[in-house]
Structure 1
Amino acid sequence: MAEPPEADLLRDPEAYARLLEHVHDAVLAGVPAPRSPRSVVSDSWQRSLAAHVDPDSGEAPLVFEPSEVTDLRAEHPLAPVLPLLRQTLVSIADDAEHMMIVTDAEGLVLWREGASGVLLRADRVALTEGTRWTEEAIGTNAMGTTLATGEPVQIYSAEHLVRRYHAWTCAAAPVRDPETGALLGSIDVSGPLRTVHPAMLALVTASAQLAEGQLRAQLAVRDEKMRRANMRHLDALRGRPGALLSAGGRVLAAESCTLPSTVEVRRGGGTVTLPDGRIAVVDPLDDGFLLRLATSGPAHRRRLTLEYLTDGAGSTTLDGREIPFTLRHAELLTLLALHPRGLSAERLALQLYGENGNPVTVRAEIHRLRTQLGTGVVQTRPYRLAADIDADFLRTRAALRRGDAAEATRTFSGPLLPESEAPAILEERESLTAQVRQVALNTTDSDTLWAFWETSCGADDLEVLDALCAALDPADPRLAVARTHRSRLS
């Protein structure tokens, strides 16, 4: 949810701008500020500075020349809603000495319309068609920040990271594809400080919602045309299970089968595995696909083995074949295995990165993971694993629930992903280690205590060593080893 404008901004914009200048200077200098920036601004400054944006000399980069932008406009999905946006925003922007800006999902300015005086001022600070306004390119600004967060946002004066934009105020809202939910771009209204208006953010948000509504209406028309043009292909199956799919994989009509609302398909069609394991063949049609179920019952599910309780590198195995993996992919697989019903991109971002998590980053990582493991293993909406999971941390968890101390310590070979700093992984690692330690201490079984002591989590634990020495039989050769190690720690 977007943070509302400050009351001080609405009462005295110029005084509020001066206060923000002091806050901006103090935060960047690392000295106490007269107040804290809004959280959306503070988070954006951190992302922008991490991308090495210079607050003193940054300028939006020109990526495409005007002639190239013309071609990009014609192909962009937001082109059909420009008349609506002009009707709802440009006339208001003219009256208020503002301008309307529309970007693509990568922050490229495709359209810019409004009061001529404001356009001339914008030219002087590179706020023009063909420039890129992501946070990574130019720091905190309404367009870039709304694309980074997926939420409407207003940025006023010195809330912009780069100083040359402190004389500007802007509000932006994201626009999403009604079929896929993917970001298409942002709609922005920008202008000089003196023309700031409390309704600006609400106006831009409403305009973005109107644009999405028009896109949904256009999508419904295309769906109906596709059904009418291709229903004969579904009829030709003569009652055999199948479906008509949109170009994005949405089920538009089905025959003799139950399917999820959306099927993951490749552009050229081919064989797909449904979430329940059924196999289907997808044939390309005009503006969509024909799906034919190849099997009526569930197919053999793939087996994903995760060995992440270790002091070493761990391993990820798919159907017996070891898969190279990054720490981030191991973290994703761990969280998805711990949440079999699935997680949204927003929830994954929170668990991986904390409050500063960006769902866009998570979606990119999931895309790379799905490319590596296959779309049949990692499902979407929500993100979840559609495979038989054999994970050492899940086996340990199950043993703890049963109160089986011997099995819990046998499967616990070390801390969960010890190099991970993801908040949810840290919490799970500490919880699992503490529980295994406690069940080991609660038993007098020497083998159970020895198994935990052999891990890095128990090696230098004096309480565990004392319990082990007390549990071992005097004739057991392991007692001398434990006592020697105990004496070294004293």
Structure 2
Amino acid sequence: MDVAPAPEPELLRDPESYARLLRHVREAVLAGVPGPRSPRSLVSDSWSRSLAARVDPDDGEAPFVHDAAALAALREAHPLAPVLPVLRQMLVSIADDAEHLMIVTDADGLILWREGAAGQLVRGDRVGLTEGTRWSEAAIGTNAMGTALATGEPVQIYSAEHLVRRYHSWTCAAAPVRDPETGVLLGSIDVSGPLRTVHPAMLSLVTATAQLAEGQLRAQLAVRDERLRRVNMPHLEALRGRPGALLSAAGRVLAAQACTLPSTVDVRRGGGTVALPDGRLATVEPLAEGYLLRLSSPSGPHRARLRLEYLSDGAHTTTVDGREVPLTLRHAEILTLLALHPNGLSADRLALQLYGETGNPVTVRAEIHRLRTQLGASVVQTRPYRLAADVDADFLRARAAVRSGTPADATRVFRGPLLPESEAPAVREERETLTAQVRQVALNSGDPAVLWSFWETSCGADDFAVLDTLLRTLPAADPRRAAVAAHRARLA
């Protein structure tokens, strides 16, 4: 999950003074006059959405939409109900100690569960922070729960960053929770309390709790998947080697034989004929749980599509025909080198590029064997080792953009260094070369958008030449210039 940027450090040094500053900022924005500073962009965007929904900044109040009877039924049916014990274990005792409330909402911002110390429950009741009320942005304006659901990211909202005046004495942190099968928002987890108890770790805590909840849901999904595979495997075996697959109720591929499929198939309730992304037709038959997929005609020769997203400060991503395959760093390094050498590499040559002079071809053969087991023998072939797939690699696209002299394309693809944790000699050399080339292309472009895109990566963040060129090219009225100038001053 991405975390929205936090406000200035003075919040923690003097919460009351910072709250007064935020009130002045809010009043200036609502009055349409210059203020002491601009609100965070996250807050400004949320205020705009809230005002467009006609939320009253002075007298808004969270609407009560469900009574106790209706709420009980909603709780029982909600996907987060099974993980509530985990949320209590992580947050309730901490919330009690810090005079906060723990709150869980559904995807529409309806508060389903609320727990905390008795005094804080009473305080929450006074402002409608209770079960059965709706806290979406459209209902009550900027708040951590509603804004986390609107943006899909963890959010902390302080005092007068709440659009509605009655919540200015509160601070809250919330993180969204998603269905691990579909990616759909299920709701949010929130910790709310008085401003004086604000703590820098609260946002990290709710974010970690949301991730733990998603992990629990993922574990429960894995158990259901295994049960479905066990119950329905006879249907797949009855195809007697003909191409087909078992699908979950949402269309995820749980088991396949004699065919390569994307990770998820778009199925309609009741089944029927579906078209796969590569144009093949399949028949989907409903089972007691999930579906049986049969390819309507022999699949014939199929060339896999291998997508490598390795230019990033975060995790690398590998997909085969749309199905994500978790790979170790070593296997990602091997795919990188094979993609850079489409004609293939011998075991000796690959060992040299992976390990240097100490490389052992025997080790490489073992790694290739494991990689072929994961991706399929049709993707990684031998004698020599090469990729027998249609490869779409971000680092190859960045290379091509540099060669063709298209700066915007190069920086659009370049989201970070190539496999930054890799120490393989050939990968390290390619990483350093590509970074230097994209940097130079950005500097030579004179285009603020291109320079900004490179500056946003870890490779350009603290680069004085990039910062100085941005300051020269960005118009004085461009709000991005102030951010660059502030960052440049901090580095000086």
Q: Match of 1:226, as an amino acid? A: L
Question: How far 1:280 sits from its partner (Å)?
Answer: 1.1
Moved more, 287-296 or 120-129: 287-296
Match of 1:239 in 2: 241
Provide structure 2 residue ranges, at least 5 long, that are not aligned to the other structure.
301-320, 323-492
The one-character-per-residue Cα deviations of 1:21-72 (angstroms, maximum 9, x if unpaired) are 1111111011111111011000100111111111011111111111111100
In structure 1, what is the Cα distance between the partners aligned to 2:295 and 2:66? 46
Match of 1:387 in 2: none
Q: Do the aligned residues in 2 keep the contact of 1:5 with 1:198 (CA within 8 Å)?
A: no
2:119 is aligned with 1:112: no
The one-character-per-residue Cα deviations of 1:121-180 (angstroms, maximum 9, x if unpaired) are 111111111111111111000000000101100001000000011111000001111111
After superposition, the Cα gap between the structure-2 partners of 1:227 and 1:297, relative to the gap in structure 1 and judged at 3 Å, is closer
Q: Do the aligned residues in 2 keep the contact of 1:245 with 1:251 (CA within 8 Å)?
A: yes
Q: Do the aligned residues in 2 keep the contact of 1:272 with 1:279 (CA within 8 Å)?
A: yes
2:266 is aligned with 1:264: yes
Match of 2:215 in 1: 213
Q: Do the aligned residues in 1 keep the contact of 2:92 with 2:102 (CA within 8 Å)?
A: yes
In structure 2, what is the Cα distance between the partners aligned to 1:208 and 1:286? 32
In structure 2, what is the Cα distance between the partners aligned to 1:43 and 1:63? 26
DSSP-derived class of the 1:47 partner? helix
Q: 2:57 aligns with which of 40, 55, 58?
A: 55
Q: Do the aligned residues in 1 keep the contact of 2:243 with 2:299 (CA within 8 Å)?
A: no
Q: 1:65 aligns with which of 56, 67, 81?
A: 67
DSSP-derived class of the 1:257 partner? coil
DSSP-derived class of the 1:222 partner? helix
Match of 1:102 in 2: 104
DSSP-derived class of the 2:113 partner? strand
Q: Do the aligned residues in 1 keep the contact of 2:104 with 2:188 (CA within 8 Å)?
A: yes
2:136 is aligned with 1:134: yes
In structure 2, what is the Cα distance between the partners aligned to 1:76 and 1:269? 26
In structure 1, what is the Cα distance between the partners aligned to 2:7 and 2:203? 9
Q: Do the aligned residues in 2 keep the contact of 1:226 with 1:286 (CA within 8 Å)?
A: no
In structure 1, what is the Cα distance between the partners aligned to 2:216 and 2:182? 15
Q: Match of 2:19, as an amino acid? A: A
DSSP-derived class of the 1:186 partner? strand
In structure 2, what is the Cα distance between the partners aligned to 1:256 and 1:141? 51
Match of 2:94 in 1: 92
DSSP-derived class of the 2:171 partner? strand
Match of 1:382 in 2: none
Q: Match of 2:11, as an amino acid? A: L
Match of 2:297 in 1: 295
In structure 2, what is the Cα distance between the partners aligned to 1:102 and 1:263? 32
- Matched residue count: 301
CA RMSD of superposed structures (Å):
1.6
In structure 2, what is the Cα distance between the partners aligned to 1:297 and 1:84? 46
DSSP-derived class of the 1:6 partner? coil
Runs of 4+ aligned residues of structure 1 deviating over 4 Å after TM superposition are none
DSSP-derived class of the 1:112 partner? strand
The one-character-per-residue Cα deviations of 1:57-104 (angstroms, maximum 9, x if unpaired) are 111111111111110011111111100000000010011110111111
DSSP-derived class of the 1:93 partner? helix
State TM-score, norm by structure 2: 0.60
Q: Match of 1:44, as an amino acid? A: S
Match of 1:321 in 2: none
The one-character-per-residue Cα deviations of 1:299-351 (angstroms, maximum 9, x if unpaired) are xxxxxxxxxxxxxxxxxxxxxxxxxxxxxxxxxxxxxxxxxx99xxxxxxxxx
Match of 1:21 in 2: 23
Match of 2:183 in 1: 181
Q: Do the aligned residues in 2 keep the contact of 1:280 with 1:293 (CA within 8 Å)?
A: yes
Q: Do the aligned residues in 1 keep the contact of 2:145 with 2:189 (CA within 8 Å)?
A: yes
In structure 2, what is the Cα distance between the partners aligned to 1:52 and 1:296? 57
Q: Do the aligned residues in 2 keep the contact of 1:271 with 1:282 (CA within 8 Å)?
A: yes
Q: Do the aligned residues in 2 keep the contact of 1:104 with 1:186 (CA within 8 Å)?
A: yes
Q: Match of 1:262, as an amino acid? A: T
Question: How far 1:5 sits from its partner (Å)?
Answer: 4.0
In structure 1, what is the Cα distance between the partners aligned to 2:266 and 2:111? 31
In structure 2, what is the Cα distance between the partners aligned to 1:95 and 1:287? 45
Q: Match of 1:202, as an amino acid? A: S
In structure 2, what is the Cα distance between the partners aligned to 1:279 and 1:148? 37
Match of 2:257 in 1: 255
Q: 1:38 aligns with which of 40, 50, 56?
A: 40
In structure 2, what is the Cα distance between the partners aligned to 1:131 and 1:203? 24
Q: Do the aligned residues in 1 keep the contact of 2:7 with 2:40 (CA within 8 Å)?
A: no
Q: Match of 1:152, as an amino acid? A: P
Q: Do the aligned residues in 1 keep the contact of 2:259 with 2:299 (CA within 8 Å)?
A: no
Q: Do the aligned residues in 2 keep the contact of 1:142 with 1:172 (CA within 8 Å)?
A: yes
Match of 1:190 in 2: 192
Question: How far 1:295 sits from its partner (Å)?
Answer: 2.2
Match of 1:172 in 2: 174
In structure 1, what is the Cα distance between the partners aligned to 2:270 and 2:113? 33
In structure 2, what is the Cα distance between the partners aligned to 1:272 and 1:107? 35
Match of 1:400 in 2: none
In structure 2, what is the Cα distance between the partners aligned to 1:33 and 1:21? 10
Question: How far 1:296 sits from its partner (Å)?
Answer: 2.8
Q: Match of 1:78, as an amino acid? A: L
State TM-score, norm by structure 1: 0.60
Identity across aligned pairs (percent)?
A: 79
The one-character-per-residue Cα deviations of 1:418-475 (angstroms, maximum 9, x if unpaired) are xxxxxxxxxxxxxxxxxxxxxxxxxxxxxxxxxxxxxxxxxxxxxxxxxxxxxxxxxx
Match of 2:123 in 1: 121
The one-character-per-residue Cα deviations of 1:173-230 (angstroms, maximum 9, x if unpaired) are 0111111111111000001111111111010000001111111111111111110011
Match of 1:349 in 2: none
Q: Match of 2:254, as an amino acid? A: L
Q: Match of 1:285, as an amino acid? A: L
Match of 2:277 in 1: 275
Question: How far 1:297 sits from its partner (Å)?
Answer: 5.0
